[in-house]
Amino acid sequence: MTTYSTRKEVPDHEKWDLTDLFNNEQEWRAKLEECESICDKLQTYDGAITSGSDLLAYLKTQEELSFHLRKVFAYTMFLTDIDTRDSHAQTLSDRTTKLGVKVSESTAFFMPFLLSLNEETLRSYLKEEKELEYFEDELWKSFRFKDHVLSKEKEELLSQLSESFQAPGATFSMLNNADIQFGDVTDDKGKKVQLTRGMYAKLIEDEDRNKRKEAYKAYYKPYIELNNTIATTLGAEIKKNATMAKVRNYESALQKALFADDIDPAVYDQLIEAARNHIQPLHEYSRLRKEKLGVDELRQYDLNASIVPGVKADIPYEEAYSTMIHALQPLGEEYVERLKEFKDKRYIDVRETPAKRSGAYNMGVYGVHPFVLLNHHDDLNSLFTLVHEMGHALHSHYSSKHQPQITASYRIFVAEVASTVNEVLLINYLLNETTDEKMRAYLLNHFIEQFRGTFFTQVMFADFEKQTHEKAENGESLNAENLNSLYEELFRLYNGPDIVFDDEVKYGWSRIPHFYRAFYVYQYATGFASAIQIATKILEGDKDVLESYLTFLKSGSSADPLELLKAVGVDLTTPEPIEAAMKKFAELVDELKKL
């Protein structure tokens, strides 16, 4: 594995080129000040929109602000993420946060104003100004929120409080990325060194059980020490969500979170029910894992080790990228050419360095290009992560290229489809390329693990979110003890009775950053199930599905998420896609048993 002690050691071609956003900080500051001026201009429309031309002028100004704001925000976000200890980057980020508050304040009047209009008045404005056709769909969609937008004064007050509302998530992010110090582990030379996230990802899969246990204990050490503090931050976040749902006249925080995408909460409940009803193959897999590892007691630190010993894939970044290119050939030559460009043009920040933000993500910047953050470790997991994030990135690329700004950003509900289609194509390619039975078993084991992590674990998280929010809505306490107890109960339910629990298991909820983005994670599971169905048909040679899928990638948010998926043959209002995914998982477990 390639490691770097400083960012300066990383070759330039494996780092972002942020000059694509701004050549220097001075340019960034000038654009930030321009955004502040646009905010001042937007405020002049408060109480002054009395015609179609006024409405058009406001909306065009607001869209101009949105275009510049994305770049301003991205620049400071990227600077902060490549070194979370950088105090100067934090200062710039604080400026961006304050700008965000000003934007909220300057636009807070608009939704109450819009929803105060009757349909006849809005239609007259649309008829008066032909250019308003560009905004028409979004204007009518806004009327769905009529019962959930407050008075002008209350909206302004909430805007002023928006920075405070971000405090629980911001506090956890700082703890998790900058302050947390993991325990020590023993390196290959027998010396004690402090564990990093990157090391943990490798060690928790090590064939040596003692190494796995040592890494596991060291990793959870700070989360146990900070249990009460993190419980306070998450409890505050959940209570905020419950309170805001009530303030805005939603039946629940879940309904509020799903409302913008027009997703019925029944889809969420149906997902959890289907996973619980088809959980037996996952329990069988736990039993198989215990048997093949040859352990008397299966522990949490045994869940990531390969049950096919003696097979270890060392995949340097260059080789990983080449493998991805070959694996995604079924999506067409044009798609593959775009992938090659992303690497050559430095759209990807590849390596883990001290204090770099953990994990991986893609962020599309309209009018510029997508930016992908990785912490690549030259292994099979890193290959899958690369393929996953490039699915997001190409989705962003195509939607931005083929959609106007107003519909260029795809909704969160469909965000995981493109990434997971890529993963399914990758595993299919790797399985087809190997003739070695042991390697095939290894790859099947890996795909089952992807299934477990992307589907079952995310449904378990979704279950946890639903129950914790319901507790808050019912006035129940959300202290460390209650959160620990609920998480431990769900972990046992989903992973089966063959696992013997260490004390660390119950603290698992405290390390999940997605819990500060309410009801997000369930979409990994629905996206995974949708992708299984789409990728299977593409691999079967269904040209209509391939064509409709490529159209889907170019569609952004031009239609509601469920409708976009229906156009590719996936109907998540029925249990069929989830049950088909469950059937596929059971087949994978059965094949692995035979091998």
Residue 389 annotated in active site: yes
Q: CA dihedral in degrees (20, 23, 27, 32; nearest 10)?
A: 30
Nearby residues of 371 by Cβ (< 8 Å), 6 or more positions away: 16, 74, 78, 347, 348, 349, 362, 363, 364, 365
Nearby residues of 19 by Cβ (< 8 Å), 6 or more positions away: none
Q: Which of 308, 565, 290, 591 is nearest to 414 (CA)?
A: 565
What does each C-alpha distance from 418 to 277, 302, 408, 445 come to in angstroms?
A: 27, 30, 15, 22
Structure tokens at 133: 């056709």
For residues 37 and 58, give the distance between their C-alpha atoms in angstroms, rounded to a whole number: 14
Q: Which of 105, 389, 423, 449 is catalytic?
A: 389
* Burial class of 226 by CB neighbour count within 10 A (0 to 12, 13 to 18, 19+): buried
Q: CA dihedral in degrees (118, 124, 128, 132; nearest 10)?
A: 50
Q: Which of 534, 540, 537 is nearest to 552 (CA)?
A: 534
Structure tokens at 123: 């239609």
The CA-to-CA distance between both ends of the chain, in Å, stands at 30
H or E element at residue 194:
strand 192-194
Rg (CA), the chain: 24
For residues 151 and 556, give the distance between their C-alpha atoms in angstroms, rounded to a whole number: 31
For residues 250 and 253, give the distance between their C-alpha atoms in angstroms, rounded to a whole number: 7
Which segments within 232-278 are labelled E, that is strand? none
Q: CA dihedral in degrees (226, 232, 233, 236; nearest 10)?
A: 170
For 535-538, the CB contacts below 8 A with 24+ separation are 535/420, 535/421, 535/424, 535/425, 535/428, 536/424, 536/584, 537/569, 538/330, 538/331, 538/421, 538/425
Nearby residues of 446 by Cβ (< 8 Å), 6 or more positions away: 306, 380, 384, 427
DSSP string, 272-306: HHHHHHT-HHHHHHHHHHHHHHT-SSB-GGGSSS-
310 residue type, one letter: G
Q: CA dihedral in degrees (345, 347, 348, 354; nearest 10)?
A: 110
Are residues 418 and 396 in contact, defined by beta-carbon separation less than 8 angstroms?
Answer: no
* Residue bearing tokens 């046992």: 492
Are residues 286 and 498 in contact, defined by beta-carbon separation less than 8 angstroms?
Answer: yes
**Residues classed as catalytic:** 389
